[in-house]
Structure 1
Amino acid sequence: MIGPSSSTLALDSVGTPALWAGTIAGVLALLVLDFLVTRRPHEVSLREALGWSAFYVALPLAFAVFVWQRYGGEHGLEYLTGYLVEKSLSVDNLFVFMLLLAAFAVPAVLAQRVLLYGIAGALVLRGVFIAVGAAALETLDWAFLLFAAILIATAVKLLRDAVRGHDQQVDISSMRSVRLLRRLMPVTDEYHGPALTTRLGGRRALTPMALVVVAVLGTDVVFAVDSVPAVYGITEDPYLVFATNAFALLGLRALYFVLHAALSRLVHLSYGLAVILAFIGAKLALHWAHGVWPGVPQIPTLASLGVIIAILGVVTVTSLRATRGVESEPAASAGGPPTG
């Protein structure tokens, strides 16, 4: 997103109808594959998680080579930068998922099925937000300023929460979605495998699995509001926005089990994400100002990529140093009494 107007970029869009259809079909096929893998509930081993993580890292990198060779270096750089931003934000998603799994005492054998529901829901919501965002950029001159304001407000909230410290517990009883579901239907006290409903005294009842899935889907809405404007700050091409979101989300199920113990050590991640979102918000504001006053400078995509990598590197190093010698305690319970 350097220089040209939205209408110009639309003409040079990477996303042909054939590529859109092929990508959506590929994403659906990968989701079906993941549901087949999780059909038999089992506890995920580190070896299995590493194997799937390697696959879901190699896939978007191979796609980056395709975009670079087929559509040029500028589009390839935008895709790589957007993917890195979305992957970074997805790690913050995992931290929230970890707290929810712990709060609902999700058995370890069901954790990956819960994550998969969350990923599928996130993909649908991102698709909706991407379409809305593309329409806004085409019709509203001030949409860039709106996106910039959303990102800067989110950055301030992340920074405020980081200063106060992460809340390591989730109060299930205070969640509106949980209270609403309990009013509508009875809820069992125990999990019934991956089933969302079961029979209780002759009546159809929800299981705790249904409650945690709804809670995870609720967090997906919040993250969609942040992540879609963030990647639109890198590229205005709706196809690249969708591709970066899809590839970042598809690997979350396996990445969760790889980073499970390490997540609690990334104590400075929120600071880094706050700086990244504020930086992209400023980039969007400058892009809007450049359209009004051509003399206003813009931030090149390559410079954005360098800044994002540097910020992530710094917060990772400082987090590991700050938690050196502190034993990580995974927040998600591997068992225990389910909270129905």
Structure 2
Amino acid sequence: MTEPVLKVKNLKKYFSIKKSFIDTLKGTPQKIVHAVDGINFEIYPQQVFALVGESGCGKSTTGKLIVKLLEPTDGKIYLRGQDVTDIKTKEEVLEYRRKVQMIFQDPFSSLNPRFRIFDVLEEPLLIHGIGETKAEREELIYKALEMVKIIPPEDYIGRNPHMLSGGQRQRVAIARALILNPTFIVADEPVSMLDVSIRAEILELMKDLKEKMGVTYLYITHDLSTARYFADYIAVMYLGRIVEMGPAKVVIDNPIHPYTRALLAAVPEPIPERRNIIKEIPIKGEVPSAANIPPGCRFHPRCLYAEKGLCDTKYPQLVEYEHNHWAECHLIGKY
């Protein structure tokens, strides 16, 4: 059986909210934000695993935990079977960062505005000691730019990020992530800041690079339409938990959690034959605060199918509804 490239087990991240002076005097209990609250998944070689959900559901926090920008409160992270949860030394972190890279949402703020494009791409090479001479590093930089279709590279290496278009900046950000030849990339909403006209180009580029370089992606997005196009496997997050998970085609064509159905109903469907597959499922109210998690099922305050005495009191478990298709709901098959 193929070993997963990345595995997370019962991963949690909690943040304490600083109490005000008045709250301290009153003895108000400390509030905790349950950003990520016990999630489990595995990502296999050259797979695109999409983490989907509304803003504030914990998907970006999950990505930052995986690249070690945040330390988990509890749980384990494994890279190719090795426990990397508690790596601390500079050498261990450097080795890990060479294998696991991140593409950020905003290509402008993630690139140093004072750096030329050459400097942006040379910096990771210098940090990791790759390329003994400037000529060797220059060759690697030219190859990286050519890979992401910034052609000819010599026309761009002397420019600053503000001199490029949004799509070109994101291509440079992708080149920076790939120049270290990583095995795993966390792509945090890599196309959400770009014009609709070039989103498909960037996703197609990332697909091609996956095939050429054998890279594996965690693709974080709120947009199910791009997840349908780009991902092999989809996990839907809500308030720090994964509520549905399965192969992309299965989750898109046969969603079984009310939240997933509501998300899909909000996506415009261009194919008339498919418009009756997912009927609109309205959901009530706003996402509750992660510092004030509802009892029972987290989705029950907004769910039209919630049963009193069950959904509002008993916590559901993530169960396998059909082969490799998981959902966290008490009422699977009843609606």
- Which protein, 1 or 2, shows the higher relative CO under an 8 Å CA cutoff with sep ≥ 6? 1
TM tier, smaller:
under 0.3
TM-score by length of 2: 0.25
Higher strand share: 2
Q: Which has the higher helix share?
A: 1
